[in-house]
Amino acid sequence: MRRRAAEFRRPVRRRFSHWIWLLLGAFSLAGLVLFFVQYNHSEDRVHHPLLERNAKVEHFAKRYNFTEEILSATSFSRQLAEQMVLAKAYVIIAKEHNNLHLAWELSSKIRSCQLLLSKAAMTGEPVTMEEAEPIIKSLSSLIFKAQDVHYDIATTIATMKSHIQALEERANTATIQSTVFAQISAEALPKSLHCLNVKLMADWLKMPSLQKLSHESRISPRLTDNNLNHFCIFSDNVLATSVVVNSTVMNADHPKQLVFHIVTDGINYGAMQAWFFSNDFKGATLEVQNIEKFHWLNESYSPIVKQLRIPESRAFYFGPYQGANVEPKLQNPKFLSLLNHLRFYIPEIYPLLEKVVFLDDDVVVQKDLTPLFSLDLHGNVNGAVETCLEAFHRYYKYLNFSNSIISSKFDPQACGWALGMNVFDLVAWRKANVTARYHYWQEQNADGTLWKLGTLPPALLSFYGLTEPLDRRWHVLGLGYDLNIDNRLIESAAVIHFNGNMKPWLKLAIGRYKPLWHKYINQSHPHLQDCAAG
Interval 282-322: pLDDT, tens? 999 999 999 999 999 999 999 999 888 776 655 554 454 44
- Give the angle subtended at the CA of 37 by the CAs of 34 and 38, to the nearest 5°: 85
Q: Spell out the residues 6+ positions from residue 526 whose beta carbon is closer than 8 angstroms to its own.
A: none
User: pTM score, two decimals?
Assistant: 0.67
In whole angstroms, what is the distance from residue 240 CA to residue 252 CA? 19
Q: For the chain, give the percent of residues with pLDDT over 90.
A: 46
Interval 194-244: pLDDT, tens? 899 899 999 998 988 888 888 888 899 999 999 999 999 999 999 999 999
CATH class of domain segment(s) 191-533: alpha beta
Domain ranges of the chain: 66-151, 191-533
Interval 433-469: pLDDT, tens? 999 999 999 999 988 899 887 899 999 999 999 999 9
Q: According to the model, what pLDDT value does residue 2 have?
A: 43
Which of 213, 525, 227, 258 has its CA nearest to residue 365? 258
Question: Of 120-129, 240-249, 296-305, 520-529, which one has max mean pLDDT?
Answer: 240-249
Q: According to the model, what pLDDT value does residue 334 have?
A: 59
Model confidence at 184, pLDDT cuts 50, 70, 90, reads: low
Structural contact between residues 227 and 355, judged by C-beta atoms closer than 8 angstroms: no
**How would you class 200 by CB atoms within 10 Å of its CB: exposed for 0-12, middle for 13-18, buried for 19 or more?**
buried
The full DSSP string for 472-504 is GGG-B--TTT-TT--HHHHHH-SEEE--SS--T
